[in-house]
Structure 1
Amino acid sequence: MSSAISPVATKAEVLKILSDFAETIRKLGVVQIGLFGSFVRNQQTPESDLDVLVDFAEGQATFDNYMDLCFLLEDETGRKVDVVTTRSLSPFIGPHIINEVEYVNLDR
């Protein structure tokens, strides 16, 4: 995480960063990305991390792509980021996340 960047404070800031970096995110094999958790509910605190849900294209869910996405998002938002794939969602928590997530259009 870069200390040079002030941590994002609002959902709008996070969604703008995701949108601004859509091309880079797509190049990492991501076909869908969205925000969930405290930022979506406007319950974030200065210590809150970002919760991001992603779907990778077939064959693109590699360790390198996953880690590069994590590093990109942490560097650009100034916050710790938890990246969760749709395929890894628990059947117990998954439905709650799916109902809450706000997706970003990666097509430009």
Structure 2
Amino acid sequence: MDVLAIVKKNRFFLKERFGVNKIGVFGSMVRGDAREESDVDLLVEFASTKRSFDNFMELSFFLEELFGKKVDLITTSGLDRYVRPYVESEVVWCEK
């Protein structure tokens, strides 16, 4: 599954509907060691007007339906300081 291509295809909808400023893929999908049962790890940055728990959950549910897989969605502001260097070193941001 080409997660990045799917995200790119939907990036304008993600921005309009959920206020996504940036979204990137990391983890097994980027490293190339994903298995059929692997989840999709995504790092997201919301516009300041869209930072809410409800919006976060709606985006998470939307992405799980889009991919047909469990999604681990993490915000850039909620990224643990111990994990941050590892995630930032492998995240592939969805660019235009």
TM over 0.5: yes
TM-score, normalised via structure 1 length: 0.82
Which residue of 1 is the match for residue 93 of structure 2?
103
Give yes or no for the alignment of 1:23 onto 2:12: yes
Matched residues, number: 95
Q: Which amino acid aligns with 1:25?
A: L
Which residue of 2 is the match for residue 4 of structure 1?
none
Identity rate of aligned residues, in percent? Answer: 40
Query: Which 4+ residue blocks in structure 1 deviate beyond 2 angstroms?
Result: none
User: Structure 2 unaligned runs (5+)?
Assistant: none
User: Structure 1 unaligned runs (5+)?
Assistant: 1-8
TM-score, normalised via structure 2 length: 0.92
Structure number, greater radius of gyration: 1
User: Which whole-Å deviations, capped at 9, do the CAs of 1:40-90 have from their partners, x for residues lacking one?
Assistant: 000101110000000011131112221221122111111100100011111
Query: Which of the two has greater helix per residue?
Result: 2
Q: How large is the RMSD of aligned CA atoms in angstroms?
A: 1.1
Distance across 2 between alignment mates of 1:52 and 1:81: 7
